[in-house]
Amino acid sequence: MSEWFTQLGYKGQLATWVVASFLLYTLASQLAWQYRYPGRDDVLGRLVDRLRGQPFIPWAEQAIRLVYYLGIPFLAAINGLLGADLLGISGTDWVEGQSIQGFLWEDWTRGVGLAAAGAIALGGLWSLGRWLSRRTGIRPVTLWSFTPRWQQLLDVLYYQIHWAFYRSGPILWTGDLYWGVFAGLALILVEVTLNPAFWWSIQAPETAGAPLFQPSLAGFSTLLFLATQNLWLSIAAHAALTLLLTQKAPVPYDEGSPL
């Protein structure tokens, strides 16, 4: 098995990691949807019912998310399959006194401007959509948050690393930044649409905000990365938009909900 994996070469090995990540997410989302309510009369259903409400479950969930979103890219990186520059964590211009994290001062200045302009445009579009909805008597889509702020910021980091990981594979395979980032975006969107909770959530304005907001942020991050190759800017812009546009939900989170 190890010899076979080695023979794949670094591009094939990275493809294996990306495909494994994609399949794990898809399988987990399908199982979470099937077992979202208690009472399933099968072995797994009875096990899930016994685990519901256990005090360690929130901690276990956080540990699983940490391993999935950060652990898989980290393992791929330490095996030499992708570098920090491919993810956008560092640049290639390491000039003493003239760069930060491998990005020149002028790159940071230009990047911050692009990130700010893009964030303002995206935030403006969401605000405009809500205003037009109210003007026409349609219930506006609201970005409700069922989690505390620290969890939202942690999710920003998770999503951005996850999306950068999915971009890195196609960039490496195609040898082309432009086609690579959009192939990565396509993979992200396919992953989102294969989650049954996504289709359930977008049926009503009260629950459609978050599932529609994340793909739009993925698209925004793709364009920003294409222009700057700087993941830190995407993280900062994503965090700012999340904190500014999301609202605390007026009702507690329902554990039976697929959100």
Q: Provide the residue-wise pLDDT of the chain in tens; the chain has 259 residues.
A: 577 767 778 788 899 999 999 999 999 998 888 777 666 677 766 777 777 777 777 888 889 999 999 999 999 999 888 888 889 998 877 777 778 888 889 999 999 999 999 999 998 888 888 777 777 777 777 777 778 889 999 999 999 999 999 999 999 999 999 999 999 999 999 999 999 989 988 888 777 888 888 999 999 999 999 999 999 999 999 999 999 888 776 655 444 443 3
Q: Note down the domain range covering 46.
A: 2-96+103-248
What is the model's pLDDT at position 256? 41
What is the model's pLDDT at position 91? 82
Q: What are phi and psi of 99, to 5 degrees?
A: -145, 155
What is the model's pLDDT at position 120? 94
Asked whether residue 253 is domain-assigned, the answer is: no
- Quickly tell me which residue has 């023979």 as its tokens: 7
In 57-182, at which residue ranges do the beta strands (DSSP E only) sit? 99-100, 103-104, 144-145
Asked whether residue 19 is domain-assigned, the answer is: yes
Q: Token pair of 114, please?
A: 């692009």
SS3 247: strand
3-state helix, strand, coil in the chain (%, to 5): 70, 5, 25
Q: What is the DSSP letter of 248?
A: E
Identify the burial level of 2 via C-beta atoms within 10 angstroms of its C-beta, where 0-12 means exposed, 13-18 middle and 19 or more buried. Answer: exposed
Taking alpha carbons only, the member of 213, 218, 165, 155 closest to residue 189 is: 218
Length of the chain: 259
205: Cβ–Cβ under 8 A, 6 or more apart, which residues? 133, 138, 139, 140, 141, 142
Q: How far apart are CA 224 and CA 233, in angstroms?
A: 8
Asked whether residue 211 is domain-assigned, the answer is: yes
Split into its structural domains, the chain has a count of 1
Asked whether residue 254 is domain-assigned, the answer is: no
Identify the burial level of 156 via C-beta atoms within 10 angstroms of its C-beta, where 0-12 means exposed, 13-18 middle and 19 or more buried. Answer: buried
Asked whether residue 259 is domain-assigned, the answer is: no
Asked whether residue 258 is domain-assigned, the answer is: no
Asked whether residue 115 is domain-assigned, the answer is: yes
Are 27 and 33 in contact by the 8 Å Cβ rule? The answer is: no
- Quickly tell me which residue has 């990365």 as its tokens: 225
- Which pTM was predicted? 0.88
Are 169 and 184 in contact by the 8 Å Cβ rule? The answer is: yes
What is the model's pLDDT at position 251? 58
What is the model's pLDDT at position 258? 36
Q: What is the DSSP letter of 200?
A: H
What is the model's pLDDT at position 38? 66
Q: What are phi and psi of 188, to 5 degrees?
A: -60, -45
Q: How many helices (H) and strands (E) does the chain have?
A: 12, 4
Q: Token pair of 8, please?
A: 């794949």
Asked whether residue 197 is domain-assigned, the answer is: yes
What is the model's pLDDT at position 37? 66
